[in-house]
Chains A and B, each alone.
Chain A
Amino acid sequence: MTANEDEALRGLVRQAYEATSAESEFEVEAGLREIMSRAGQGLIVLSTGSGKTSAFLETVGGTPSFSPWIVYGASPHSENDSVNTLVARTLDGGYSCQPKEGRRVSFGRNHHDVHIPLGIDDRRVDRECGELIFHDGVWTVRNTSKVPIRLGFRLILPGGEPLPLSQGYSTLLVEGSPGRVHALELCVVGRDHAIPVARPNDDTLEPMPWRLTSVERTLFVVLSQRYLLHEPQPQPLSSRAAAVLLAELQPDAAWTAKRVEHMVSAVRARLANAGVPGLTREEVGEPVGDAMKRNLIGELLKSATLTPADLELLRQDRQAVK
């Protein structure tokens, strides 16, 4: 095959189609009006917010009453910051969309066909991952792909019911190729009409660690050492294994599995009373398994109560860790 041959074959096919095409009954003006009509019936129009699109709609008899989908600029004071305005950010840009009953915003890899491109270079990401729909005064998110989407601590399953987005900030995470996760940051503007502003010079808010006694700290470092060592898919040590290890560290402290369990329960109850969720049997539901212990360790890590530096406790002289 040569380029010349392809050129000749393309010429032949082109001439053949031109010669045999019946005169089309298609009316261009009617087709254009159909496009405008469909664009004006709830579909979102991509625009830079210059107003040119609306002006164009007026010239062709469309309905300019819908609000444009604007590229979200750096200004925190967007003209579209009314209540329930949806603001979205991805690596590829920022967007905002005013609420309107039935309005649908799709996101996914196929930037030709979705409103918000996400993971456009990652073939593990579906062409369309999901949709955001405004209905009954609430934005909802629904998974239209084949893999779960993470919304905070929840999973949005394929084909499941839409989940409501609360006002304020949330993040959708779409898993891509190994080692890649694609984030779609969303903010539904609340009654304060505030779109989050950049705060580059503000002090960083420090996490609030929980107070633990030295014995409790040693116990939890032992229990959560796989987390602190960044092992893949870590699990807490069992009470029995923790007791064995603690007995080696503190041979005079009479560690047993029962003592480990009692101490863990006491700390868990303390944090649950302070309002930490997921630490009671009622909240976790049956079967409980290790869930409460995992949630407790998760809270201690998230609050920076435990850090990898605490592993040093396990290396100190046994006599010093009493």
Chain B
Amino acid sequence: MTEDGERFEDFYADTARRTRDIANFLAGNREIGGDAAQDAYLAMFERWDERKARSSGDNRRYVIGIAAKKVADWYRRTNRFVPLDEEGELPGPDDFHDQVLDRLTLYKEVTLLLENQPARRRMIGVLYFLAEFSGPEIAEHLGISPSTVRTQVERLRARLRPLARRHETLGEGGERA
């Protein structure tokens, strides 16, 4: 970082791949996710003089927030960002494979659990558990109420808990050789 703050191209080089991955997970679609990430960096570039003095982590969260909003806007435009109640419930973790073969299978199950959620819940889950945004931050970026975020995070917690317990078991020597 220079005295005037980090250069935009350095920030981009350090964070773009990770942001793009998160945007892809948010969108459940590489094309939409990739476009959202690029749009977010363009918006960040326009504000770089204001933002460059901030920490890289702060700016990374900022740009992920913009990308999340872009993805949410895309879903709204295509009428796919509907209230969760209208989308019906998807199978819970109990409906997945009964047996966890090894750690990679468990990880795959975790990503599948989030990827198979309706668009809005998936985005809430990715932002909360992967990008580690707070509930109010998610509400602001997605333009939804904090109580909706809390409700959906709690539902995801309930589904992730059994997987976390299995993960702990693997860490205690349960993993296959």
A13 and B160 contacting across the interface, CB-CB below 8 Å:
yes
Q: Mark A276-313, 1 if CB is under 8 A from B, else 0.
A: 00000000000000000000000000000000000000
B111 and A56 contacting across the interface, CB-CB below 8 Å:
no
B129 and A13 contacting across the interface, CB-CB below 8 Å:
yes
Chain A residues near B107: list those with CB within 8 A.
15-16, 19-20
Tell me, rounded to whole Å, the shortest Cβ–Cβ distance linking B6 to chain A: 12
Tell me if A266 is interfacial: C-beta within 8 Å of chain B. Answer: no
B12 and A28 contacting across the interface, CB-CB below 8 Å:
yes
A112 and B46 contacting across the interface, CB-CB below 8 Å:
no
Q: Mark A106-124, 1 if CB is under 8 A from B, else 0.
A: 0000101101000000000
B47 and A52 contacting across the interface, CB-CB below 8 Å:
no
A9 and B8 contacting across the interface, CB-CB below 8 Å:
no
Tell me, rounded to whole Å, the shortest Cβ–Cβ distance linking A103 to chain B: 13
Bound Cα distance A142, B55 (Å): 37
Tell me if A8 is interfacial: C-beta within 8 Å of chain B. Answer: yes
Tell me, rounded to whole Å, the shortest Cβ–Cβ distance linking B69 to chain A: 7
A13 and B66 contacting across the interface, CB-CB below 8 Å:
no
Tell me if A47 is interfacial: C-beta within 8 Å of chain B. Answer: yes
- Stretch among B17-25, B80-88, B89-97 lining the A interface: B17-25
Bound Cα distance A5, B163 (Å): 12
Say whether, besides A26-B16, A31-B12, A53-B49, A112 and B143 are in contact (CB < 8 Å).
no
A9 and B164 contacting across the interface, CB-CB below 8 Å:
yes
Bound Cα distance A182, B21 (Å): 39
Chain B residues near A24: list those with CB within 8 A.
17, 20-21
Describe A's contact surface by its main secondary structure: helix
A39 and B130 contacting across the interface, CB-CB below 8 Å:
no
A17 and B21 contacting across the interface, CB-CB below 8 Å:
yes
Bound Cα distance A62, B6 (Å): 19
Q: Mark A222-251, 1 if CB is under 8 A from B, else 0.
A: 000000000000000000000000000000
A20 and B111 contacting across the interface, CB-CB below 8 Å:
yes
Tell me if A32 is interfacial: C-beta within 8 Å of chain B. Answer: yes
Chain A residues near B42: list those with CB within 8 A.
35, 38-39, 43
Within 8 A of B (CB), among A35-54: 35, 38-39, 43-48, 50, 52-53
Say whether, besides A21-B21, A24-B17, A38-B42, A8 and B164 are in contact (CB < 8 Å).
yes
Tell me if A1 is interfacial: C-beta within 8 Å of chain B. Answer: yes
B129 and A9 contacting across the interface, CB-CB below 8 Å:
yes
B38 and A34 contacting across the interface, CB-CB below 8 Å:
yes
Tell me, rounded to whole Å, the shortest Cβ–Cβ distance linking A268 to chain B: 50
B157 and A10 contacting across the interface, CB-CB below 8 Å:
no
Tell me, rounded to whole Å, the shortest Cβ–Cβ distance linking A170 to chain B: 25
Tell me if A253 is interfacial: C-beta within 8 Å of chain B. Answer: no
Say whether, besides A16-B111, A28-B17, A113-B69, A35 and B50 are in contact (CB < 8 Å).
no
A sample of 9 more A-B contacts (CB under 8 A), given A12-B110, A16-B106, is A10-B128, A17-B130, A19-B107, A45-B45, A52-B4, A53-B48, A56-B8, A59-B9, A112-B69
A/B interface sample: 24 pairs, CB < 8 A: A5-B164, A9-B129, A10-B129, A12-B164, A12-B167, A13-B114, A13-B130, A13-B160, A16-B107, A17-B110, A19-B103, A20-B111, A31-B38, A31-B41, A35-B45, A38-B42, A43-B46, A47-B49, A50-B49, A52-B4, A52-B49, A56-B7, A60-B9, A127-B143
